[in-house]
Chains A and B, each alone.
Chain A
Amino acid sequence: MAKLLLRRARTLLIVIPVIILVIIFWQARTLRSDNFVFYLPNASHVVPVQAIGHANYVPLLQVLNIVGKVQGLTAARDSLKIWLEDNQIEVRQDDKKVRIMKKNIKLSDPVRVDNGQWMVPLNFIEAALPQIIREPVVYRLGSRRAFIGDVRPSSFSFRLEPIPNGSRLILQFTDKVNLRTASRNGKWVIYLGEKPVQPLEQKFNFQDAYLANIQFDDQDGMPKLILTPSSDGLNFYPKLDDSGKTLMADMVKPAAAVAQQNPPVQTTPTPGAAAPPIVAPGAATPAAPSGPALPVVVLDAGHGAEDSGARGENGVLEKDIVAQLVARVRNALLATNKYRIVLTRVGDVNPSLDQRAATANGARPEVFITFHAGNLGIRAPRIVVYTYQPSSSATPSADDRSPGIFIPWATAQLSQLARSQQFAHALQEKFAGISGVTVSPPAVAPMRVLRSVNAPAVAVELGSLTTDVDSSPLTNPNFQEEISNAIVQALDDFKGRQS
């Protein structure tokens, strides 16, 4: 008897720890994650995908926020009611049914709550989303991207041809693309521009002596091809033809002498791209390699990362518009060869307002411009230029106007107000020359980001970016180009007056 109990106890000693371990690591198993990309006519959004059990899930509220404006929600212990524009959506925990406007829709897997977040299976995107937004939703099962509304993704085909000492990759695109290439960790990355791309296949199978693998990836919202060379030391020469639709990339073994003095992978900028290259978010933008004597202009694209700022129709986000505009203004200013440009944020990140001011003050700029887009009423497009207004009635004192060695961080802008206002006037004059745009007289605002900038500083706000006004003029490349040119001219005027 005792022997029997002992044997059972031994079995227990093994079984119980196993059960405990399984329970502990059950949660950890769901932590594996990657992303899902939603393409809208003017923007793309990335949401994390999480594996729970055997199915992949996306966070419900994040998805709904992309396709519309969540007006309100009621969360109970095991159910969630959401009001999205005219719709009412109801989900229950561990239930496969979703109730949309009193109609039941069955999902492939039950709704789950994970870490306090309501999660729906990927199947929600094809089964339920078209009922909610009444717009076409194109989603290919197994892929990690969906196209919502009037989005026509481009596609591509490729072939490989042998050339002396190498291989030639020929990529044929269905639409004109704006290419940029880079090399990362011994791989070549071809960024396919900002337009959505739907590859024909999930995996590309081929055999080539120089190219080991081609992989399409848009997990960060930027469509790109990642090429893995078969061996180190190959040179990569991509070239886009005049039509902008065919890319020829030669991968060749360098001649022995060349190989010795050159780094193994060369990155060549793509010539022949018709549109000016827009700095893709997330890509490093080094300062222009200009001489040290050039005056500095600091450009600040408002918001970033989780802080998307204002939101327009079709899911256009303030952070994306201003990043795009800053890239254009940067290009326009660099083209003059008169300025060095410093950006306060590169890619989709959100430095604090003090960090932005610190970047500016460290660069000792000629001017600081922060870009925003928000609600400016129904007259669109409209531009307002602001200078800093101290929030309390305190006017700059004599001490502020003639600073000593140390300038108080919190009130650094006060001593610069007069020059900031001059620059604001110069900008307003030039913006007024853009046709079809309503330009208000320079205004003042208690803008937090301007407060600590120790240089002439202005905020430029474009409008209207709200859900009830058509915001498409703001994303128009021509409009953004005109703004960029106006800024270049205004800076010339301002500098002329200073000297």
Chain B
Amino acid sequence: MIENKPEPIGGKIVTKPFLVFSLFAVIAVFLIIKRFIFGIGSVTHLSDGYPWGIWIAYDVVVGTAFACGGYAMALLVYVFNKGEFHPLVRPALLASMFGYTLAGISIFIDVGRYWQAYNLVLPQFSQLYSVMFEVALCVSTYIIVLWIEFTPAFLEKFKKERLQKIMSRAAFIFIAIGVLLPTMHQSSLGLLVYIAGQKVSPLWQTNFIALLFLISAITMGFSIVIFESFVSAMALKREPETTLLSKLSAYIPPLLGIYIAVRFWDLVGRGKLELALTGGLEANMFILENLLYIIPTIILLSPINRSKPRMLFISAILMLLAGAVYRFNVFLIGFSPGPGWHYFPSFSEIMITLGIISIEIMAYMVFIKKLPVLPSIRHT
């Protein structure tokens, strides 16, 4: 396969969608300022029963899983040596970088005593057996690693060839760490709720939660690569790399197969599967979540479907939704601090999340236009 070098695609930065996104961003920034002056309660519906809302469930847990594209591609290309997917790595990396960076920013907004956040790394305070400690440390390190992994794009842009050489020699270290860290924290994100014990519905609380989170994060990584490829192709009026993507999608059904098998084997083993048929929000969300997993698995089992862009796109969306719903279910729907408590995000809370997503998309748009990220166009 011919390697095509990534190139900046150029074009105007301030476009109509860019303006719409910046409106959301401005609202979010205003609300974030309000949060820092008047406290978390002034912009959220968080309570002592539901101390984590959509900022954690979406921005951090789902957001970083969406940002697993870089991880999944690195795993495929560098660990399993599938060089043909190399063109997909850098855009995936960029999305991961923003996904994780903004998750980091979200955590910073969400934690109450942010000015003491450095306590995490002070030896007198570090609590090594805390899942949160591991997640926090891994995520923050991974953000740095992602930026380092992405530096070649800057170096190419600004033509720092000597640095470029050093970087390419040392790259394998960061790539390896960049695979290790998500393996650790994407599994541990699931383990976060493990200590909540009976507060999480037995439909989701399981000894295998770490494994399930890890597998689903990888599938979400592949899905986001497919999704982003199609979306950016459409938005930039380029031909989608369907061939590559359909090859990539072939890895998904076995992974999801393992996921679904473990999920149901565990539920049946614990005798909790019948809870799924009790009706109510929890049970219905469980059914929805698993349908969202099973349908794309079935679609992608067929090689013909895999070669159809629409089918690929739809299954990618379904899998992303599945992962998102799964994570929402674990952290919010299936989480119950006890009778009497309820939570639904407030308007401001949603607006802040929307703003952060907007910033992410805006930054992505700027970067692909100004930096060598997307593979150069080989046709038209």
Task: Tell whether A and B belong to one assembly.
Answer: no
Binding site for B on A (CB under 8 A): none
Binding site for A on B (CB under 8 A): none
